[in-house]
Amino acid sequence: MAKRLTMNGRKGKAFSEVFGEFITSQTAKGVSEVTLRNYRQVLHNISRFFDVETPMDALSKSEIEQMVVEMRGASLAHNTIATYVRIVKTFLNWCRAENIVNITVPNIKEKETVKETYSDEELDLLLRRPAADCQFCEYRNWVIVNFLLNSGCRAATVRNIQNRDVRLADSQVIFRHTKNGKIQVIPLCSRMVNVLRGYMAVRGGAEEDYLFAMSSGKC
């Protein structure tokens, strides 16, 4: 008997397989590699609580809810569960737009947490200038700590700053790698300008080299 043709070519495909198509779609849209990596990691993580080989045309809202129950039973942190559900919801919204399934799940509101801050003594240790005869990496790390406290930027942003992005004369630094993908120009305080001026004299390198390099000169 000839195979019946269907309008939905994904009929019978597993959750994991369609999730892979979702990631391909997001890649084509220009979603950042960090976000894509997060999607892949979440798919791996939820596979402990949900059969990701479930056919999409057999998927139901109750199975997603049971997944959440299993996560709670495994004592996962509330905000971790909320993150997983938010990404699954994003995937299901894409599936609905693609006419694959019509399942909606509500977001789980994340709980606000109070993060511990450094004490004055700890900050004093972090900001204490290394000895003049210290290794380059120790000096570089001290500059990075100062920079993080001055700008409050993300680690990925710091790693991608190039020498050309630091404008000491204007007391500014350009962030080319940001979470939303938009270039930002951030002011630097006078102390940070002095710290960077001394560091860049030691670091040297070409304009396109990363600012915070390893001792070999590479990022």
Query: CB of 144 within 8 A of CB of 195?
Result: no
pLDDT digits (tens, 9 = 90+) for 107-155: 888 777 667 777 888 888 888 999 989 999 999 999 999 999 888 888 8
Give the model's pLDDT for residue 156: 86
**C-alpha pair distances (Å), 63 with each of 80, 112, 126:** 18, 28, 48
> 3 — alpha (psi -120 to 50), left (phi > 0) or beta?
beta
Instruction: Tell me the whole-structure pTM to 2 decimals.
Output: 0.60
**pLDDT over 80 (residue 10):** no
Residue 118 corresponds to which tokens in the numbers above? 């450094």
pLDDT digits (tens, 9 = 90+) for 79-117: 999 999 999 999 999 999 999 999 988 888 877 766 777
Give the model's pLDDT for residue 2: 42
pLDDT digits (tens, 9 = 90+) for 11-32: 689 999 999 999 999 999 988 8
Q: Which CATH class is domain 120-203?
A: mainly alpha
Percent of the chain having pLDDT more than 90? 65
> How do the domains of the chain map onto residue ranges?
15-97, 120-203
**64/20 Cα distance (integer angstroms):** 18
Q: Give the confidence band of 9 by pLDDT, cuts at 50, 70, 90.
A: low
* Mean pLDDT over the full length of the chain: 88
**C-alpha pair distances (Å), 149 with each of 37, 136, 168, 171:** 27, 20, 17, 16
